[in-house]
Amino acid sequence: MNNNPNEGSRLLILDFGSQYTQLIARRVRELNVYCEIHPYNHLPADLESFQAVILSGSPYSVRSEEALHPDLSAIKGKKPLLAVCYGAQYLAHFGGGEVAPSNIREYGRAHLSYINPENDPLFEGIEEGSQVWMSHSDTIKQLPTGGVCLASTHDVANAAYRIAGEETYAIQFHPEVYHSTDGTKLLANFLFKIARISANWTPDNFVEQTIVQLREQVGKEKVILGLSGGVDSTVAAVLLHRAIGKQLHCIFVNNGLLRKNEFVSVLQQYEGMGLNVKGVDASERFLTALAGKTDPEDKRKTIGRVFVEVFDDESHKVTDAKWLAQGTIYPDVIESLSVKGPSATIKSHHNVGGLPDYMKLKVVEPLRMLFKDEVRRVGKSLGISDELLGRHPFPGPGLAIRILGDVTAEKVAVLQEVDAIFINALKEHNLYNKVWQAGAILLPINSVGVMGDERTYERVVALRAVESVDGMTADWVDLPYKFLQKVSNDIINKVKGVNRVVYDISSKPPATIEWE
């Protein structure tokens, strides 16, 4: 499926392996401009349909033998081009200029000390003193042939330049990070004043175009979709339902590892939305398969295998189904490729390529070009409730990876009660929407306690709440002490078998959000 805007409103980002590449795309999308990320050595077949190009940064040096060499013959001097960091150094080093190791460490905040007074459109509305973010160990000592300096900092003489006679621009700082205070303005100047791209990438336009394309792609054939209760699968389901109606058959599997009462409550929400949903309670099947398994990856693979089996059984009950719909989003697509070729491994719970070949279904992924925040915006455009769109992310393996060690029905029941108290308290105290993800972890240890006059030796649970944008990095949330005190008291008093509550104050990195 190609749900891209029309020619003349598309931007290509060539990825050289920078940790910030996805962030460039997010900033561009926030300006309502459609963009795609492609590895530097795999130019899209429809290159001519892209109005402009951005070259990303890179962990590599242009001076090394491992320098990444893009084919820019159809781009430079022919399309508006903005080269960021490595891209800027590449154009200089291989264009008649000179790149050398920096005498000082050029990393972190800097301020523009000079902006070319010729009023170049790239720096329109940006003044001297503007803060920018540097992240490189090399620096441009001499500009390439035709290079004109546009901006400097106190330590970097050639912080930005352009090539005379071309719409080619280069900057040694990163406009995509929040630390560059006028970074969005600079990107907007490039997109709208230099590249003259149309800002027509909006949720409403996406919905309209995608509905038309889904109808063309699927025709009159039936589609099955595995609902999880999460934002991505929900938005995908509503979008498909809007396009093909009762041809869509949704399956919501209860693996016995969901939150307390979630199977029933989510089913009711879906049915209230008019979706054709079948609920399948396979709790016992999953818990039996998990018996005695303690290794996290083993648990993930077991859950994935059983899900495929259950889903395959149920899909056969939908006669003549030809399509499998998935809630794949753009980071999933990007992460399955890399600058050095396809990623060596994909996590076993990943939803890209999650079903075996024997199912013989064609795949439709209506959200595959959207970032997470865009999925929520599209969901809002579709009229999905804020309650569903605002749900915290929940791991695919569910509570199995929040129970350290082996998984039993009794442990799941305990953790469901603890989790329900914590999540409900966040909602009651208006903290839920200030947290990106929260949950409880059942630890494989007991601790000594005292209840009344009796000594206890019972379970320990850890509470986890983090703030994040996309889960790549996360900080623990500084929840009020009084709130944590109340939650702890409620858990210990109401959940039999738990006598100690701890709060996880680790950030990602070095820790991860989930414990397994």
Catalytic residue numbers read 85, 174, 176
* Residue 186 near residue 212, CB atoms below 8 Å: no
Q: Which tokens belong to 31? A: 């300006």
Q: Provide the 3-class DSSP secondary structure of residue 60.
A: coil
Half-sphere exposure of 24 (CA within 13 A, CB side): 32
The Cα 500–Cα 457 span in angstroms is 10
The sign of the dihedral angle between the CA atoms of 186, 189, 192, 197 is negative
* Burial status of residue 509 (CB atoms within 10 A of its CB: 0-12, 13-18, 19 or more): exposed
* Residue 152 near residue 113, CB atoms below 8 Å: yes
* Burial status of residue 40 (CB atoms within 10 A of its CB: 0-12, 13-18, 19 or more): buried
Backbone phi, psi, residue 456, to 5° = -120, 155
The Cα 77–Cα 31 span in angstroms is 25
Q: CA 380, 383, 389 angle in degrees (round to 5)?
A: 50
